[in-house]
């Protein structure tokens, strides 16, 4: 089958278009014909080798963490899905590879595609949807009446997170450029901070939760907007000891991550704020709950551009440019 292939870690390198064997379908797997694949900053970070210590992959590797498509075959233990089902998924770490004509995915990572979305729209959801869900529903336990700050509100995670936080009853502040203010307001943002002309830490205070997806400087400043007992959750690092334990990393890596996160954890404790790093995990059950919200019209996808499969490298470069509003998707099937 045709796929876009990574042969070795290399920053800013183009993926190779070529042939790889069709996936082997294990007992718990569904074989999916890929109709569309969403792209994420995570794809470029894996390509660049940023996660090679905590997510070791062997080469050649097919990238891609988001998929929408049709089930064509199921393993002998699969009961939840059948050939012909339209699904969407974020395959688990170690089994990524949606930038290909077919992918085998554990049924536990899969959900039926929202009926009111196209394949391209559905492919834009899994990674960012699960990230926002695991930040606000699982980790923060966001409640009605609380206040949340979401950085980069016009990005892939941000556009979904704003809508989910509003659904949960929170007051939402977000940072973005003035050009994207109308977009984030339409998604439900109550307070919009132009990061180019305004200092969010001088405007906001008394917040319950802050979601950081940006750099270390923004992470540190975010402490200042949170009240005592607040939660600072970062999806861009630095990883903390709890994450290292969850991943089952060896003693040396655990010590490295402890050291890397020591500064922000120390500063958070001084302000009586809880800091944690979240690396989202695949979860088909949560995708099913997200699909229900989408079908009710609570959350809508935000797709910036759809590229043909042949232009995958151009699509990945566009994601890396940081100019996309919402998600970028690659389309394999008409």
Look at residue 53 in the predicted model and tell me its pLDDT: 85
Look at residue 173 in the predicted model and tell me its pLDDT: 98
How far apart CA 189 and CA 172 sit, in angstroms, is 5
Look at residue 55 in the predicted model and tell me its pLDDT: 87
How far apart CA 276 and CA 262 sit, in angstroms, is 12
- pLDDT tens, position by position, for the chain (334 residues)? 999 999 999 998 999 999 999 999 999 999 999 999 999 999 999 999 998 888 889 999 999 999 999 999 999 999 999 999 999 999 999 999 999 999 999 999 999 999 999 999 999 999 999 999 999 999 999 999 999 999 999 999 999 999 999 999 999 999 999 999 999 999 999 999 999 999 999 999 999 999 999 999 999 999 999 999 999 999 998 999 999 988 888 999 999 999 999 999 999 999 999 999 999 999 999 999 999 999 999 999 999 999 999 999 999 999 999 889 999 999 998 8
User: Do you find a cis peptide bond into 238, omega within 30 degrees of 0?
Assistant: yes
Classify residue 259 by burial, with Cβ atoms within 10 Å: 0-12, 13-18, 19+: exposed
Check the CA dihedral 130-136-139-141 and report its sign: negative
CA torsion angle for 63, 69, 70, 76 (degrees, to 10)? 40
User: How far, rounded to the nearest angstrom, does the alpha carbon of residue 124 sit from its chain's CA centroid?
Assistant: 10
Domain 2-125+301-331: CATH class, spelled out: alpha beta
Give me the residues paired with residue 111 across strands: 88
Contact 54, 48 (CB under 8 A): no
Domain residue ranges in the chain: 2-125+301-331, 128-277
Look at residue 56 in the predicted model and tell me its pLDDT: 86
Structural tokens at position 257? 């991550």
**CATH number of the domain at 128-277, please?**
3.40.50.720
286 three-state secondary structure: helix
User: How far, rounded to the nearest angstrom, does the alpha carbon of residue 40 sit from its chain's CA centroid?
Assistant: 7
- Record the pTM: 0.97
The DSSP code for 135 is I
Look at residue 334 in the predicted model and tell me its pLDDT: 80
Look at residue 37 in the predicted model and tell me its pLDDT: 98
Q: In what order do the strands lie in the sheet with 226-234?
A: 191-194, 171-176, 147-150, 207-212, 226-234, 274-277
Look at residue 25 in the predicted model and tell me its pLDDT: 98
């Amino acid at each position: 089958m045709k796929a876009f292939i990574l042969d070795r870690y290399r920053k800013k390198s183009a993926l190779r278009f070529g042939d790889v064997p069709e996936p082997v379908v294990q007992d718990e797997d569904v074989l999916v014909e890929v109709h569309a694949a969403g792209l994420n900053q995570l794809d470029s970070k894996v390509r660049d080798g940023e996660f090679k210590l905590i997510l070791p992959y062997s080469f050649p590797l097919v990238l891609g963490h988001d998929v929408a498509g049709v089930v064509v075959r199921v393993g002998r233990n699969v009961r939840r899905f059948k050939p012909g089902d339209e699904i969407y998924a974020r395959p688990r770490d170690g089994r990524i590879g949606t930038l290909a004509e077919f992918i085998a995915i554990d049924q536990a990572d899969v959900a039926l595609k929202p009926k009111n979305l196209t394949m391209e729209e559905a492919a834009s959801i899994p990674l960012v949807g699960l990230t926002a869900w695991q930040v606000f529903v699982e980790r923060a336990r966001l409640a009605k009446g609380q206040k949340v700050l979401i950085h980069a509100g016009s990005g892939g995670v941000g556009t979904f997170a704003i809508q989910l936080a509003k659904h949960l009853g929170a007051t939402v502040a977000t940072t973005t450029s003035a050009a994207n203010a109308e977009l984030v307001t339409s998604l439900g943002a109550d307070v919009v901070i132009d990061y180019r002309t305004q200092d969010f830490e001088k405007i906001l205070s008394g917040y319950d939760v802050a979601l950081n997806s940006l750099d270390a400087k923004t992470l540190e400043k975010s402490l200042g907007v949170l009240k005592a007992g607040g939660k600072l959750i970062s999806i861009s690092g630095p990883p903390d000891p709890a994450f290292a334990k969850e991943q089952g990393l060896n003693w040396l890596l655990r010590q490295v991550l402890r050291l890397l996160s020591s500064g922000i954890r120390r500063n958070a404790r001084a302000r009586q704020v809880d800091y944690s790093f979240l690396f989202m995990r695949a979860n088909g059950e949560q995708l099913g709950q997200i699909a229900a919200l989408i079908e009710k019209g609570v959350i809508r996808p935000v797709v910036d551009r759809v590229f043909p499969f042949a232009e995958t490298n151009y699509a990945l470069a566009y994601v890396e440019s940081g100019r996309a509003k919402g998600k970028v998707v690659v389309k394999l099937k008409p």
